[in-house]
Amino acid sequence: MFLSIQQLDLHIGEKNICQDLQLNVLAGEFWAILGNNGVGKTTLLHSLCNLYPSPQGCIQLNKKTIQEVPKKSLAKAIGLMQQDYEYFFPCTVMEAVLMGRYPYLSSWQWESDEDRKIAEQALIKTNLVDLKDRQVKTLSGGEKRRLHLAMLLSQSPDIFLLDEPTNHLDLSTQILFLDLLQKHFHNQQKTGIMVVHDPNLAIKYCNKALLLFGDGKWQAGTSDDVLNSENLSQMYQYPIKKFTIDGETIFVPQH
């Protein structure tokens, strides 16, 4: 799956999110999008699945503009994990995960045994299989976050759009969560694009990075090239220092 972003200008009111953004996103890549609060990271993510169309620029999926791709085909190609997800109707964990299979069903068709098998595998991967009969409203914030990932794995898109996926997760679960995603993208040749606040998670898990500076300027490339003290200090408008400990890169704000 190949996602191409060409000459994209994106605004919200007077906020200039990005100007002339040009990216080619390939299968197997894991991208981090970083920037200060309110810079427009979520809006950019939404534009990549046509939830926030831009009148200027072009986003193509396998050489077709995303506006040309039928909605069900788009849902098979691109999946979105939002920051928060509201469940307006009572449902069990398994019923919620089966919602991810909707793009593969025809009108009035019920889920097949294969759909249920895929959903159960997603629950196993996210350590939720023992909760499959629980009502979603009884889950903790962290359990709901794992449920959102299970829904996305059940949907099985080629491109995962992840809006702050580690929200509400404790430290060990964050690592398990991102380990799972990184391996999935590498082994299945899927693509991940993740909005994240912590540059340490970005450098650890993502091989590509996009920085949004808040005035339309941006910088993109490999994480090793883009994530450095100079760029992060400029982006966050606060001094950031880079350290290497046991071969691992970490970034620390300086007082």
pLDDT in tens, 232-242: 999 999 999 99
Q: In this predicted model, what pLDDT tens digit does every residue of 111-127 receive, in sequence order?
A: 899 999 999 999 999 99
Q: In this predicted model, what pLDDT tens digit does every residue of 55-67 receive, in sequence order?
A: 789 999 988 999 9
The whole-number pLDDT of residue 129 equals: 95
Look up residue 172 and give its amino acid.
S
pLDDT band at 1 (very low <50, low <70, confident <90, very high): low
158 and 78 Cβ atoms separated by less than 8 Å = yes
pTM of the model: 0.94
In the DSSP assignment, the letter for residue 135 is: B
Other beta carbons within 10 Å of 143: 19
- What is the sign, positive or negative, of the torsion defined by CA atoms of 186, 191, 194, 200? positive
- Which domains are present in the chain? 3-253 (3.40.50.300)
Q: Residue 254 — φ and ψ, nearest 5°?
A: -100, 135
Residue % of the chain over a pLDDT of 70? 99
Is the model's pLDDT at 48 over the cut of 80? yes
